[in-house]
Amino acid sequence: MIRKDGFAKILDFGLAKLTQAGEGQETYSPTFPAGTEAGVVMGTVGYMSPEQALGKPLDFRSDQFSFGSIAYEMATGRRAFERASAPETLAAIIREEPEPIRTAASAAPAPLSWFVERCLAKDPEERYASTRDLARDLARLRDGLSDASQSGATSVIPPAKSRSRRALAWSVAGFGLVAAIAVAATWRPAEEPPVFRALTFRRGSLGAARFGPDGQTVIYAAAWQGNPMQVYSTRVDSTESTALPLPSAGLLGISPAGKIAILRDGRTAPVVAESSLAGGAPRDLYEGDIEIDYSPTGERTCLTRGGKLESPVGAVLYDPGADRNIESPRFSPDGHWIAFIEQTGKQTASIAVVDLAGKKRTLSEGWETTTSLAWHPGTGEVWFSAREFAGSGVVNLHAVSLSGRHRVVARGPLLLLIQDIARDGSVLLRADEWIETTMGLVPGAAKESELTWFDDSRANDLSSDGQMLLFTEGGIAEGANGGVYLRRTDGAPAVRMGDGRAEALSPDQKWIVARRNGGLVLLPTGAGEPKTIPTPGLDVQRASWFPDGKRILFSAVARGQRSRVYVTDAAGGTPRPISTEGFGGWHVSPDGRFFLARDDDRNAFLYPVDAGEPRLLRGITPQEMLVGFDTAGAGAFVASRNLPLKIVRYDIASGRREPWKDIQVSDPAGIVQLNTVVVTPDGKSYAYTYFRMLSRLYVVRGLK
């Protein structure tokens, strides 16, 4: 109870639990001859925890639930689970959620609502790991609301001159709660909108960004003005950035002790290295495309390697299986959980967590794209950036609790990519604009022309005469599901052919094979109806036509298996596998006997359609793109993925490389990579698509 002078009085200590009975001790209760024990329901009905109502064993987390019930009542003026009878109240405590404080008491500060919701979580594991953590959150809540409290709230308990540590912890908790409730009762200003402060101003693309251990320094990676990726340092109140004395690299993570993990290029594979923010040359740790994060104490690390999550390094904590992959691991503020993005074979993504014993829990799923995540130290939620399949094509900022409660934090015209959240709730946010631009040399032209239609035009195929371009739109204009477009390269308007992702134009230019919802569909270029090609149990990755226009070659993944190459009739039928597992293929030779393929290690092969062994195409690197065969089928066009665009003709018999075309983009700022290159078999026309990412980094205060 709160007295008129602001003091809190405890009038009822509730139940006491005897943890170690002394000799000769006994109870004199006429109602319950034994102490609090499993299977016995005791307590005041309106304030019981779910486990207490079910007669389960209790611990300190049950008290947190009861404490949250009292805080809810103090803020709203009514009980969280009050019903007409005791049995109905118990049922509500076990199964139902109370009305959110923000609805029941609109003047209550949002941090109070987050605190109470965490205390009232049905699962004890989703409450505070210790009462000390609860007390710390209340202290932060008190500090954050102190200005408002001093401007009009009722005064609170002054600290005593000396107290035991145990008493002090409870005093801090009580002090913070009284301050929060007092402010809730007197605070009436309109909610302030978030404040965005830009930290970067140059033209280019950003990598990852993190707050430093002091919460005021920001470390980020960026590629400005077309230069290689570099790691920089700035302050939250500064407009200037300083390049750190490190090699060209991307940022992976920062430890509480100031160690910095980077990912640099190696001779044959990326290399994870570690240095200190204080200076010094980086030390190489691991080789491979790896992501890493440090625990809040810095005593433990986690990393992703080979699609699996390791923690500690070398010990697999979670293996998602052959058709799934793990990205962006992040330790929770208390170090008890690791959150990550799980990509599935169906090109969907989910947000999941795993505890240090390897128990995994999926929190949110069914997203088309998820780019990044971070833990909120105040709410215990995982904040993540994601794009919906049915959405506008924009990546928005979301939050999900450990119980799976989802909410949208912010929507914007640009793509909002969460990077980090500081202890004071400040958010490090990257705002991106993603653009795919298609350029090409068309028949009769002396120089290249732009063939982009909307904001995300990706070239997929050219007709053999170079007069028709097949491309996919998948950005903000079309959304995540994409749209298939066909246009003449003479500048005529594009025609939308249907939903999905374009793959290839048939040799007679009458049909388009496209991917839709993981399967194959044929779209007519003229009058006619779309046709679905049966691919039961398969998630299609790529597809192309045979020269006869009657068969389709495609790569696909079956659940629990690696990629394989299949052949199916355009008229329908059952797909037939023609490769072993671990291969993906496309681009059929002019005689229909071979196709170009890659294995799991990105080695290039000439693979026979019928019986026979694949032949390694030596000299083609894993980073290069296999563009297609020339007219005779004796050579293949191979292209780089980085600028300048270098296209060579590879002689299949000898392995000799002949330079064919070097292309430089006039404005390289923000160009991350070349996504597609298509060349007509005679080499007279071509088109290519590059991906440009323009970024700005913000520190945001007031996001809730």
Q: Residue 511's domain is classified under what CATH number?
A: 2.120.10.30
Tell me the pLDDT tens digit for each residue of 247-283. Answer: 999 999 999 999 999 999 998 889 999 999 988 899 9
In which residue are the tokens 């700005």 written?
696
Tell me the pLDDT tens digit for each residue of 17-64. Answer: 555 544 444 443 344 344 444 445 667 888 899 999 888 888 899 999
Q: Measured between alpha carbons, how far is 72 from 694 in angstroms, rounded to an integer?
A: 45
- Alpha carbons within 13 angstroms on the beta-carbon side of residue 164 total 2
User: Is residue 502 assigned to a domain?
Assistant: yes
Last residue of a domain, one of 144, 170, 186: 186
User: Is residue 95 assigned to a domain?
Assistant: yes
How many other CB atoms are there within 10 angstroms of residue 399's CB atom?
Answer: 22
Secondary structure of residue 550 in the 3-state scheme: coil
**472: pLDDT strictly greater than 60:** yes
Is the distance from CB of 626 to CB of 678 less than 8 angstroms? no
User: Is residue 399 assigned to a domain?
Assistant: no
Domain hosting 161: range is 45-186
Residue type, 505: L
Give 115 or 587, the one with higher predicted confidence.
587
Last residue of a domain, one of 144, 167, 186: 186
Secondary structure of residue 174 in the 3-state scheme: helix
Residue type, 197: R
User: Is residue 434 assigned to a domain?
Assistant: no
Give the helix/strand (H/E) hosting 498. strand 495-499
- Picking from 305-309, 323-327, 484-488, 609-613, which range would have the lowest pLDDT averaged per residue? 323-327
Say what angle helices 110-119 and 131-144 make with each other, to 10 degrees: 170
Q: Measured between alpha carbons, how far is 552 from 248 in angstroms, rounded to an integer?
A: 43
How many other CB atoms are there within 10 angstroms of residue 360's CB atom?
Answer: 16
Phi/psi-derived region of residue 518, left when phi > 0, alpha when psi is between -120 and 50, beta in every other case: left
Last residue of a domain, one of 128, 156, 186: 186
Q: Measured between alpha carbons, how far is 329 from 289 in angstroms, rounded to an integer?
A: 13
Closest to 9 measured CA to CA, from 236, 250, 259, 178: 178
Closest to 130 measured CA to CA, from 50, 51, 60: 60
User: Is residue 393 assigned to a domain?
Assistant: no
Q: Measured between alpha carbons, how far is 114 from 524 in angstroms, rounded to an integer?
A: 54
Kindly report the CATH number assigned to the domain that includes residue 143: 1.10.510.10
* pLDDT confidence band for 87 (50 / 70 / 90): confident
User: Is residue 562 assigned to a domain?
Assistant: yes
Give the helix/strand (H/E) hosting 378. none
Secondary structure of residue 128 in the 3-state scheme: coil
Tell me the pLDDT tens digit for each residue of 617-646. Answer: 999 999 899 999 999 999 999 999 988 999
**657: pLDDT strictly greater than 80:** yes
Q: Give the pLDDT mean for 348-363.
A: 95
User: Is residue 338 assigned to a domain?
Assistant: no
Domain count, the chain: 2
**pLDDT score of 36:** 45
Q: Measured between alpha carbons, how far is 615 from 632 in angstroms, rounded to an integer?
A: 19
Say what angle helices 165-186 and 110-119 make with each other, to 10 degrees: 130
**13: pLDDT strictly greater than 80:** no
Mean pLDDT, the chain, whole residue set:
88
Q: Measured between alpha carbons, how far is 49 from 69 in angstroms, rounded to an integer?
A: 9
Q: What does the DSSP assignment read for 265-296?
A: --SSS-EEEEEETT----EEEEESS-EEEE-T
User: Is residue 349 assigned to a domain?
Assistant: no
Q: Indicate the DSSP class of residue 159.
A: P
Tell me the pLDDT tens digit for each residue of 117-159. Answer: 889 999 998 898 888 888 878 877 777 665 444 444 443 333 3
- Picking from 172-176, 504-508, 534-538, which range would have the lowest pLDDT averaged per residue? 172-176
Q: Measured between alpha carbons, how far is 208 from 411 in angstroms, rounded to an integer?
A: 20
**465: pLDDT strictly greater than 70:** yes
